[in-house]
Amino acid sequence: MGINQFDLIIFDCDGVLVDSEPIIYRIFAETLTEFGFIITYEEVVQQFVGKSLAVCLEILQKSYGKSIPDNFVERCREKQVIALQQELQPIAGITEVLKQLRLPKCVASNSTHRHIHLVLKLTQLLQIFGGNIYSAHDVPRPKPFPDVYLYAAEQMKTKPENCVVIEDSVTGVEAGYAAGMTVFGYSQHSNGQVLAAAGAKIVFNDMRQLFQLLS
């Protein structure tokens, strides 16, 4: 499998480019608990990894049988931004890999543009993508639907079958697979077998391996 097989690399953001997920889920659990939705970090990770915020809130309202207060999202975002500014790091090895890769690349995430720009700026990765950043908020449906990946390919003028997607969640792997793209599953924080079962062609756990895997 040579690098010539692919014309575009599409990266998910959280958990693939930046190690934000442990921070985001910790604050999400803390803020929910503060608002009377008692939940642990582990439960948040089990239930919500890779899902869009709207979907998470829907699940919570159903399982707790009460609505999420209006100011919850704002409060949670404020706390997350502070924690990200203090703690966020790029995924180990990703900066070197991105500098080595000569292929066109872009980002496609379930997060908002605001969030993607914030975390990439904090980790000095923003300029590497030259504005090629796509959010599920640009399309009708978030991952696990393929919309954001198909949109990214279209914007980058590349056929889906010539794209490789780097993903770390089942939701994201399913989206890339449904888009007809080759998916590599990055399993630093997740179960590699589960990513493979969702459609990841290759599973790896060290971002420094990516350059070799593509060449």
Number of domains in the chain: 2
- Whether residue 146 is preceded by a cis peptide bond, meaning omega within 30 degrees of 0, is no
CB atoms within 10 A of CB 192: 16
- Among 87, 102, 137, which residue terminates a domain? 87
How far is it, in rounded angstroms, from Cα 162 to Cα 4? 9
Q: Check the CA dihedral 51-41-183-136 and report its sign.
A: positive
Contact 181, 165 (CB under 8 A): yes
H or E stretch covering 166: strand 163-167
**Same-domain status, 139 and 42:** no
**Same-domain status, 13 and 53:** no
**Same-domain status, 15 and 25:** no
- Output the DSSP codes for 5-26: G-SEEEE-SBTTTB--HHHHHH
Q: At which residue do the structure tokens 């079962």 appear?
A: 197
How far is it, in rounded angstroms, from Cα 12 to Cα 129? 12
Q: Domain range holding 42?
A: 21-87
115: domain CATH number is 3.40.50.1000
**Same-domain status, 122 and 170:** yes
Contact 144, 175 (CB under 8 A): yes
pLDDT of residue 6: 96
**Tens place of pLDDT per residue across the chain (215 aa):** 444 589 999 999 999 999 999 999 999 999 999 999 999 999 999 999 878 888 999 999 999 999 999 999 999 999 999 999 999 999 999 999 999 999 999 999 999 999 999 999 999 999 999 999 999 999 999 999 999 999 999 999 999 999 999 999 999 999 999 999 999 999 987 789 999 999 999 999 999 999 999 98
pLDDT of residue 50: 76
- Among 87, 106, 137, which residue terminates a domain? 87
